[in-house]
A and B are shown apart, each in its own frame.
Chain A
Amino acid sequence: MPAKTNPSDLVRRVRKGEHAAASRALSIVVDDGKDSEALAKEFFKASGSVQKIGVSGPPGVGKSTLTGRLVGHFRSKKLKVGVLMVDPSSSISGGAFLGDRLRIMEHATDPGVFIRSLASRGMIGGLTYAIFGAIHVLESLGCDKILIETVGTGQDEVEIASVADTVLYVTTPSMGDEIQAMKAGAMEIGDLFVVNKADLAGKDKAIADLKAALGLGHSAGQAVKAWEPPVLATSAKDGDGVPELAAGLEGHWDHLKKSGEGRARLKRQHATELQFWIQRRVIKSALERVTDKNLEELVARKTDPASLGRRLLK
């Protein structure tokens, strides 16, 4: 994959909507290759105006299949869609099986859909450091909606709430007991909740459990919340409930735009993007400079962690 392209030409082609250019740009940004910062600067300019929808939830609940359904729905409204699907990298081999794409191959040849699989590459929390850079490429490409599927680890993927505008949390009827056991974390980040696989038995109980777990419904004296997360049922297998889900997502987007919450979230996203940049550039690079000699010096008490740390950060 030789990168013969010059950055400004690449940016121009991405803005024109060329998939091949977007693909190349994504690799450069994600791999942190040559010109990645020059590109990222340009792509950031066009960012922040379309809805980024995070699709989160435990493995196997149907996130990828449902994402495919939403792509189909948005396409029926003539919207351009970008999809980022994150899967975990093996901490041992560094390799990854990026298996989400196979659930939405039906959209592979649609020129209005761009799908990219990303490996988490060492980051915990369901995402990858490069997620913002990747999002900004899709924003520049002219996508009207961006779907982000995160690693379904269950409880510790709170980060998606600092990346997406709207978080869709997916569960299934068979998860009733687990839902009740869920306390903080995942349940707090959802702006919409979906009981997928509603074609299977137990849908109504799952919805009731979910509502109970969320503490939905107002008790006396409690102020009406500006946004009450809806609990919806879908079958990604049959497509049932998908239009209602899409309407719910649009409703949340309207809420964000009207309430000022949208701007607050954008600010939080930028704070997270900055945090990722600093983690990648400063902390990681300082840690990579630690040599065995440094450690020997510590053992020999020739230096101490604070002095060494300061030296490494210079």
Chain B
Amino acid sequence: MDYEFIIKFLPLYKNAAILTLKIGIIGIIFAIIIGLALTIITFYQVPVLRNITKFYIELSRNTPLLIQLFFIYYGLPKVGISIKAEMCAILGLAFLGGSYMAETFRSGIEAIDVIQKESAYSLGFSKLQTIIYIILPQAIRVSLHGIIANIIFLLKETSVFSAISIMDLMFTAKDLIGIYYNTIEALLMLVLFYLIILLPISIIGILIERKMKYV
């Protein structure tokens, strides 16, 4: 084991991890927002929009992130929209994650008894108030496990960003292997940094889940 190598390139990995995490977090926040919006559209069966939603969900879930990224990265400039690679990565993650979040929220909502909706209506809550104050808070609790699984899944998916020249963890590892042939050390650090990012999320997830159970 070449410890010198590890120590030398630790800062490089650290920066890559921060970049991965940054893109990941922003992308996931957008994914959650998209997921919530789609959930409201599906819940209230908004005409036209709900068909678009369905189409988007199928498209997003049934194509690999790498191909989605290529479309954004190479396709958008062709129609005159050019954006930075980082932005592409965020968009790609949001595009992929939006559908996963929407499906998770939907299954959470389906687990809530209709009487909750009807009691809210009976009290005079509007449709939007009902979903915001009554349905979603319960649905999110029910689907918390799935949401955390989605977050971990999406963070793992960030490993394809190297394909559009983002200097993330994967890119760093590949680069170092290419230059120095220290394959074992480079891969070990790659795995280690992904674990450093993902393990705490798993643990925090378990803790939140435990806390969110109704007393």
> Is A bound to B?
no
